């Protein structure tokens, strides 16, 4: 699995929601896979839900909030972008992780999820950088392919 770290500059971090929307649109344009945005902050989840509807004046990013930890999901019945605080069972697609935990901590043998790519966002503050280092080491130990971009 490929894990891409996006190290945000101060300007991008100040428009965190805007950057998530932009990265989401880019991911949708480049792939036909679902994108799961993992969010463990209810306020951020609600704000992002609204921001995705208002991304551009002439369009929106189709998405769906997953509210209950279903045992299984039907990918054909879901929007291309999913907002959730958990990894749905049998999920196969890309994951944009906004939590402090590596995506691997959300995956268990019982849910059988197989993300194809992970996008990690690292804000420029000390706590985020430290969390990013922890995630990097975690993914490195699992043998994942790691790349990083400063944006």
Domain limits of the chain?
2-150
Residue 112 or residue 93, greater confidence: 93
Q: Residue 66 — pLDDT band, cuts 50, 70, 90?
A: confident
Q: For the domain 2-150, what is the CATH superfamily, name and number?
A: DNA polymerase III subunit chi (3.40.50.10110)
At 54 the pLDDT is 75
> Residue 140 above 60 pLDDT?
yes
Distance of CA 101 to the CA centre of its chain: 11
Q: What is the pLDDT of residue 58?
A: 58
Instruction: Give the residue, 67 or 23, on which the prediction is more confident.
Output: 23
**Mean pLDDT, rounded, of the chain:** 88
- Quick one: residue 111, left, alpha or beta (phi over 0 = left, psi -120 to 50 = alpha)? alpha
| Residue with tokens 């985020």, as numbered in its chain | 128
Task: Output the pTM of the full model.
Answer: 0.89
Q: Residue 96 in contact with residue 121, Cβ under 8 Å?
A: yes
Choice among 66-75, 108-117, 136-145 with the minimum mean pLDDT: 66-75
pLDDT one-digit tens code per residue, 80-109 = 999 999 888 888 999 999 999 999 988 876
pLDDT over threshold 90, residue 53: no
As to burial, measured by CB atoms within 10 angstroms (0-12 exposed, 13-18 middle, 19+ buried), residue 106 is buried
**Residue 75: per-residue pLDDT:** 53
- Indicate the DSSP class of residue 110: T
Eight-state DSSP code of residue 149: E
* DSSP β-bridge partners for residue 3: 118, 146
Length of the chain: 151
On whether the CB atoms of residues 82 and 64 are closer than 8 A, the answer is yes
Closest CA to 6 of 85, 96, 93, 103: 96
Examine the pLDDT at 71 and tell me if it is beyond 50: no
């Amino acid at each position: 699995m490929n894990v891409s770290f996006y190290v945000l500059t101060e300007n991008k971090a100040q428009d965190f929601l805007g950057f998530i929307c932009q990265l989401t649109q880019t991911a949708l344009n480049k792939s036909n896979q679902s994108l799961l945005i993992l969010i463990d902050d209810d306020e951020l989840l609600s704000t992002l839900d609204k921001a995705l509807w208002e991304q551009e004046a002439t369009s929106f990013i189709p998405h769906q909030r997953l509210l209950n930890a279903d045992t299984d999901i039907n990918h054909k019945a879901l929007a291309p972008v999913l907002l959730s605080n958990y990894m749905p069972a049998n999920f196969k697609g890309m994951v944009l992780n906004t939590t402090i935990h590596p995506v691997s901590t959300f995956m268990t043998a019982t849910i059988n999820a197989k993300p194809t790519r992970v996008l990690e966002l690292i804000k420029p503050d000390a706590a985020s950088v430290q969390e990013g280092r922890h995630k990097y080491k975690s993914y490195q130990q699992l043998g994942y392919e790691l790349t990083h971009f400063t944006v």
